[in-house]
Structure 1
Amino acid sequence: MTNADQSLRDLVSKLVQEQLNFGSRELAPDDDLWNMGMTSLSCMGLMLNLEDALDVELPTESLQHGTFRSVNTIVAAVAAVREDAEPAADATTPVA
């Protein structure tokens, strides 16, 4: 895991803890957030907070139980959006 991956995981974990009002409660990356009190309303709020904090736009279809099951699944969704947003190496090469 790179430092960037760990930083993203730490930020997502912090946002989850704030959204679900965990305070200093320990949160493991694979904990099931729905079993820990996530609701559809808190999920929507978390998605909006993630988008603001990380300057990404998660697709509407990502707002589902599986995407927001754990910190790790959220990190994977954000990473996928970031990968899609990066320009391809060939896209920056001028056409002759």
Structure 2
Amino acid sequence: MLDQIRDVLSAHGRMAIDPREVDDQADLYELGLTSHASVDVMLALEDAFDIEFPEEVLKKSTFASIHNIAQVVEGLVKAPA
């Protein structure tokens, strides 16, 4: 799952640094992720994992690190439809 998230970030995050090279806890916004790019990342994650982000998780902290993204995505993947 982490590799897939990193691939999505690499393709859609428009960051100056390769997200496959950063720590799971690194602040993605400090590394160049913008709020606009995080929307593209969210849409790509929804497609990649066949999930939909509910409104309550659509906040900056959700996309602040690979770890945070993974926690939310994992919860949504396991959630009953």
Structure 1 length-normalised TM: 0.72
Unaligned runs of 5+ in 2: none
1:38–1:9 Cα change, 3 Å = same
Identical amino acids, percent of aligned pairs: 29
Q: Matches of 2:69 and 2:7 in 1, distance apart?
A: 12
- What is the match of residue 7 of structure 2? 14
SS of the residue 1:85 aligns to:
coil
How many residues matched? 79
SS of the residue 2:62 aligns to:
coil
Q: Matches of 1:78 and 1:19 in 2, distance apart?
A: 16
Tell me which of 7, 28, 31 is aligned to 2:26: 31
Contact 1:29 1:72 in 2 (8 A): yes
1:9–1:35 Cα change, 3 Å = same
Q: List structure 1 segments (4+ residues) > 4 angstroms apart after TM superposition.
A: none
Per the TM alignment, residue 85 of structure 1 is displaced from its structure 2 partner at its CA by 2.0
Structure with the largest fraction of helix? 2
Please identify the structure whose Cα radius of gyration is greater. 1
Structure 2 length-normalised TM: 0.84
Q: Matches of 1:34 and 1:53 in 2, distance apart?
A: 22
Q: Matches of 1:22 and 1:38 in 2, distance apart?
A: 5
